[in-house]
Amino acid sequence: MSHTSTATLAPAQVSHEPEPVTGIPHDKMGMWVFLCSEVMFFTGLIGSYIVLRFGSPSWPHPGETLNIWLTAFNTFILICSSVTMVQALAAIQRGDTRKLKLFLCLTLLGGSIFLGIQAYEYAKLLEHGFNPKVSLFGSVFYTTTGFHGFHVFCGVICIAFVTGKAFLGKYTQERHLGVETLGLYWHFVDLVWIVLFTIIYLF
Amino acid sequence: MTTDSGQKQNTEHREHKTPNYMAIFWWLFGLTVFEVGFSVFTHPPKAVLMIVLVGLAVVKATMVALYFMHLKFERKSLGLLFASTLLLGAILVAVGIGEHILPKP
């Protein structure tokens, strides 16, 4: 008896799922709430950096230690990948799955290049003795950029997953929330880098 | 995961004119070039450098949030949600800075 009722209730629950009270799809709302928590996370890191810097009697000029031009190029790459991500979303909204795949691949490439350049930058800095233990600047630099790099890494993994799904034809003009929520995350990572690049590399 | 109702609303949200993403890209690119040039080639007082660079970073971050993350076209409640965390973050940082700037009792 109970088996029968469960079997008959299940499809009904699916087809009559209530409208989201927020008016925003749950996946997207969930991503926004997650991003809000990420804002607080990065604010903690950036706030610590600012407080430590204000509290230090002397602070090295970033240009003396860091390769600003290389990182400026990396910033350019990340901005480009943000553009390709938003173009991927625009493409699937038009129903253009070929362009969706193309732009997702370009975004994946951009994210991978960013990580590659960051790894190269770290290797060069460590080679020259600039490590997290060397100074307060060193520890703050590696903590903030390292956590951001980890976020980019997670983003690249997710982009690879979504790209795979795109190649399997899982996204259509009507059904592509996965691309949109991933895009939100990726743009947020770009947004955070814009702030980090300015306060860590250019001051 | 995505429900039909969610999808419907998702498409409703998109009923706006697609922004010119390339124009946004060129703005972001131009502002970044200016930022780097201003930091590397000019030597203004530290306070001026800080105000200009932070101002430019805020403009760029706002452009990304409004146009790439589509906050400009989303429901106001979503913008308020995001803005409220930014406000809390700003208070957190301001309190930290105040610790060093304000005279100690």
Q: Residues of B with CB below 8 A from A48's CB?
A: 96
CB contact at 8 A, A195 and B57: yes
**Residues B48 and B58 occupy one common structural domain:** yes
Which residues in chain A (13-42) have CB-CB distances under 8 A to chain B?
15, 17-20, 22-28, 32-33, 35-37, 39-40
Cα angle: A135, vertex A140, A144; to 5 degrees:
155
In terms of residue numbers, what domain contains B86? 75-105
Instruction: Report pLDDT digits (tens) over A115-131.
Output: 999 999 999 999 999 99
User: Does residue A183 belong to any structural domain of this protein?
Assistant: yes
> So what's the pLDDT on residue B90?
86
**Structural domains in chain B (count):** 2
User: Does residue A94 belong to any structural domain of this protein?
Assistant: yes
The neighbour count for residue B15, using CB atoms within 10 Å, is 7
Token readout for A7 is 């079997």
The residue of chain B with its CA nearest to that of A172 is B7
**Residues B68 and B94 occupy one common structural domain:** no
Which residues in chain A (129-158) have CB-CB distances under 8 A to chain B?
none
Token readout for A167 is 């190649």
End-to-end CA distance of chain B: 56
The residue of chain B with its CA nearest to that of A57 is B100
**Residues B29 and B44 occupy one common structural domain:** yes
- Residue in B39, B20, B36 with CA at minimum distance from that of residue A75: B36
Which among A32, A79, A178 has the least Cβ separation from residue B82? A32
**Structural domains in chain A (count):** 1
- Cβ contact (<8 Å) for A85 and B68? yes
**Statement: residue A85 has pLDDT above 60:** yes
Token readout for A198 is 């300015």
**Residues B67 and B79 occupy one common structural domain:** no
| Residue for token pair 């009270």 | A21
Chains A and B form CB pairs within 8 A to the count of: 154
CB contact at 8 A, A117 and A111: no
User: How much is the pTM?
Assistant: 0.87
What burial letters (b/e) apply to B64-101, b meaning 16+ CB within 10 Å? bbbbbbbbeebeeebeebbeebeeebeebbeebbeeee
Instruction: Report pLDDT digits (tens) over B46-55.
Output: 889 989 999 9
pLDDT classification of B95: cutoffs 50, 70, 90: confident
For position A90, which CATH number holds? 1.20.120.80
**Residues B22 and B56 occupy one common structural domain:** yes
Quote the CA–CA distance of A28 and A172 in Å, as a whole number: 17
A99 near B CB under 8 A = no
**Residues B84 and B41 occupy one common structural domain:** no
Helix axes B76-101, A26-55, angle to 10 degrees: 10
**Residues B34 and B47 occupy one common structural domain:** yes
**Statement: residue A13 has pLDDT above 50:** no
CB contact at 8 A, B86 and A39: yes
- Cβ contact (<8 Å) for A203 and B53? yes
**Residues B62 and B94 occupy one common structural domain:** no
**Residues B82 and B56 occupy one common structural domain:** no
A172 near B CB under 8 A = no
Helix axes A97-127, A177-196, angle to 10 degrees: 30
> So what's the pLDDT on residue B15?
60
The residue of chain A with its CA nearest to that of B63 is A191
CB contact at 8 A, A107 and B68: no
**Residues B25 and B52 occupy one common structural domain:** yes
Which residue would you say has higher pLDDT here, B102 or A94? A94
**Residues B100 and B57 occupy one common structural domain:** no
Quote the CA–CA distance of A84 and A159 in Å, as a whole number: 12
**Statement: residue A46 has pLDDT above 50:** yes
User: Does residue A2 belong to any structural domain of this protein?
Assistant: no
Q: Residues of B with CB below 8 A from A200's CB?
A: none
User: Does residue A188 belong to any structural domain of this protein?
Assistant: yes
- Cβ contact (<8 Å) for A68 and B36? yes
Average confidence (pLDDT) over B13-36 = 86
Average confidence (pLDDT) over A61-71 = 91
In terms of residue numbers, what domain contains A164? 24-55+67-202
Assembly ipTM: 0.85
The residue of chain A with its CA nearest to that of B62 is A191
**Residues B64 and B99 occupy one common structural domain:** no
User: Does residue A97 belong to any structural domain of this protein?
Assistant: yes
CB contact at 8 A, A132 and A138: yes
Which residue would you say has higher pLDDT here, A122 or B103? A122
